[in-house]
Structure 1
Amino acid sequence: MDRRSFLTKAAIGGAGAAALAAPALAQSSPKVTWRLTSSFPKSLDTIYGGAETLSKMLSEATDGNFQIQVFSAGELVPGLQAADAVTTATVEACHTVGYYYWGKDPTWALGSAVPFSLSARGMNAWHYHGGGIDLFNEFLGQHNIIGFPGGNTGVQMGGWFRKEINTIEDLKGLKFRVGGFAGKVLERLGVVPQQIAGGDIYPSLEKGTIDGAEWVGPYDDEKLGFFKVAPYYYYPGWWEGGPTVHFMFNKAAYEGLPKNYQSLLRTACQAADADMLQKYDYKNPTAIKSLVTQGTQLRPFTPEILSACFDASNEVYAEMEASNPGFKKIWDSIKDFRADNYTWAQIAEYNYDTFMMVQRNAGKI
């Protein structure tokens, strides 16, 4: 065969191979358009923005073939009904926090955050390497949902108050907006918990409908303007040491995706999960300084209050473990890892950070 003949046949063969491959490629990258309802307002670029990050990644990775349209809280369904809309296939996806649905079953909260549980790093370790994702999905499957971590804020602040909170007595009768079943714990100390969506907190504080409210931390809280109507800012948010935000998908819709789309979706969720925590870690330092310059009064919860809340939390857990086998199964897994996690965390990380904080407070860095 002469060289010219070989090159001609090779070119024809190459074109034919490409033509044959095209249908297979198209088959593996079908056009998919989903709707996602968020539990958060658009004004919060960090926590609401996690869903936009996911949507952008999927679109770019598939040349626009896999599209997820993101809707803020209230555009399609109320923010606290996002998971319900996924269960009923009203939408294919939502971006929400499991503890919003604890009233249906407290097990919902375990995938996100419960009082005195794990830090953000601990939650991520448990989810990705301690079986947490599978355990939570075993529960979510009962609601026609499959979910993956989709963000974390890091340990949150303890909230904004119209008056100082110095003793257990100061909690009695306090109308406090708090997410998750931390409210069930605080009830034992006399608090009157209120579950209010993020966009409704400011007017409730301003009108005096509530006496205090927790949301996330400095960056988001400053954007929502809470410092204008409640000057005392407490820490830490012991009910949310490392709250995981979830992407939740209708199980049938997820299982109907091609395998490569399923894999891509899981990967994009993990990337969005990491991105949110990194964003908060970068933005909160500047925000806390800004809040203080605007008159915010930072206050730590006293050891007395923290200890009372810790003891009350353990009482609640004991009751739930005794009455809810599904809750017990997941909580046992978290508790087992929590013990080891805090054994390790107090050695290298804690001592390094503490030393560096002392240097910062001495003005050396």
Structure 2
Amino acid sequence: MDRRSFIRGGALAGAGAAALASPAVAQERITWRMVTTWPKNFPGLGVGAQRMADRITAASGGRLTVQVYAAGEMVPPLQSLDAVIDGTAEMSHGAAYYWQNKSTALSYFTGVPYGMTSSELAAWVQHLGGQELWDEVYDQFGVQGFLSGNTSTQAGGWFRDELTGLDSLKGVRFRTPGLGGRVWEKLGATVTNMAAGEIFQALQSGALDAAEFVGPYNDLALGFYQVAKNYYFPSFVEPGLATELVVDKAKFQALPDDLQAIVRDVCQAEYDTVSADFIANDPRALK
């Protein structure tokens, strides 16, 4: 065999070995839809949902691409969890206490009166059995929840009229959700829940006398101060309020292990990032 034939033959053999070493099938690319309860580009929360989707997409190298649908773009905001349960979407971004009509226990994974601060809630869920209890509740619906953000201590709400005592709460039409809302009902208020984008119009029209949403950062953006002039802070019902990412459990468990880890790790990162965002911007907005 001459020298050129040997070199040419070796090159072909090397190319063949390289081809055999390459994966036979390209890695699957998956696109998931995330519906949210928040308006598009809403400070802290809507921005956080979009950032979470972008982080998952980037960290997975596009193998798991998350497309975000803001409140009302695919489903009404307070039907976001149902969209995951019925398969309309693979993910939802909201607050677990919005679904207390399905299980009152879900309020504990958002915030309850005189409950946990943001750091205490994270400790409970991550290290003290909270996640296991949460899984038990959501297993009934075929979904899984992860902490996805925290707004820190929330405000008590905006009221048209000054509160001078318990009697001044009688019959007040008040937007406030969760177990905290039930406390306000016991104090005499008429309580309802509605999505962020609907509250200002209800206040303006007189359908509501008071509203509580999050705190100064979000409340400034929603414009409540233009209608209701009495602001009470802090709230006794929400000392550290968490948001959640909910995923279709069967589809999540079908993901490769590394993509599952990316979703979990991005949720943890966003819990810290969103909390810092509110701690930094609430005082600015209040001023």
| TM-score, normalisation: structure 1 | 0.73
Match of 2:73 among 72, 75, 79: 75
Q: Which amino acid aligns with 2:168?
A: D
Alignment partner of 2:178: what SS?
Answer: coil
Which shifted more, 15-24 or 238-247? 15-24
Map of 2:209 onto structure 1: 211
The answer as to 2:201 corresponding to 1:200 is no
Matches of 2:65 and 2:78 in 1, distance apart?
A: 24
8 A Cα contact 1:175 1:194, kept in partner: yes
Post-superposition offset of 1:13:
5.3
Matches within 5 A, 1:27-176: 27=27, 30-176=28-174
Matches of 1:203 and 1:195 in 2, distance apart?
A: 14
Post-superposition offset of 1:22:
3.5
Map of 2:3 onto structure 1: none
- Structure 1: unaligned runs, 5 residues or longer: 290-365
Post-superposition offset of 1:18:
7.3
8 A Cα contact 2:143 2:249, kept in partner: yes
Q: Which amino acid aligns with 1:20?
A: A
Matches of 1:12 and 1:244 in 2, distance apart?
A: 58
8 A Cα contact 1:149 1:247, kept in partner: yes
CA pair 20-173 structure 1, distance change in 2 beyond 3 A: same
CA displacement 1:73-96 (0-9 Å, x = unmatched): 111111111111111111111001
CA pair 18-105 structure 1, distance change in 2 beyond 3 A: same
- Structure 2: unaligned runs, 5 residues or longer: 1-5
Match of 2:276 among 275, 278, 281: 278
8 A Cα contact 1:50 1:273, kept in partner: no
Q: Which amino acid aligns with 1:96?
A: G
CA pair 17-222 structure 1, distance change in 2 beyond 3 A: same
Which aligned runs of 4 or more in structure 1 are off by greater than 4 angstroms? 8-15
Map of 1:20 onto structure 2: 21
8 A Cα contact 2:152 2:278, kept in partner: yes
Q: How many residues align?
A: 281
Post-superposition offset of 1:47:
0.4
The answer as to 2:241 corresponding to 1:240 is no
Higher relative contact order (CA 8 A, sep 6+): 2
Alignment partner of 1:84: what SS?
Answer: helix
CA pair 58-227 structure 1, distance change in 2 beyond 3 A: same
8 A Cα contact 1:156 1:236, kept in partner: yes
CA displacement 1:44-76 (0-9 Å, x = unmatched): 131012221111112212222211100011111
| TM-score, normalisation: structure 2 | 0.92
Matches of 1:11 and 1:50 in 2, distance apart?
A: 52
Alignment partner of 1:48: what SS?
Answer: helix
Q: Which amino acid aligns with 1:125?
A: A
The answer as to 2:188 corresponding to 1:190 is yes
Match of 1:228 among 226, 235, 239: 226
Q: Which amino acid aligns with 1:37?
A: V
Matches of 2:214 and 2:138 in 1, distance apart?
A: 25
Which shifted more, 176-185 or 8-17? 8-17
Post-superposition offset of 1:9:
6.7
Map of 1:263 onto structure 2: 261
Matches of 2:145 and 2:18 in 1, distance apart?
A: 39
Q: Which amino acid aligns with 2:85?
A: T
8 A Cα contact 2:245 2:267, kept in partner: yes
Post-superposition offset of 1:10:
10
Q: Which amino acid aligns with 1:104?
A: K
Alignment partner of 1:113: what SS?
Answer: coil
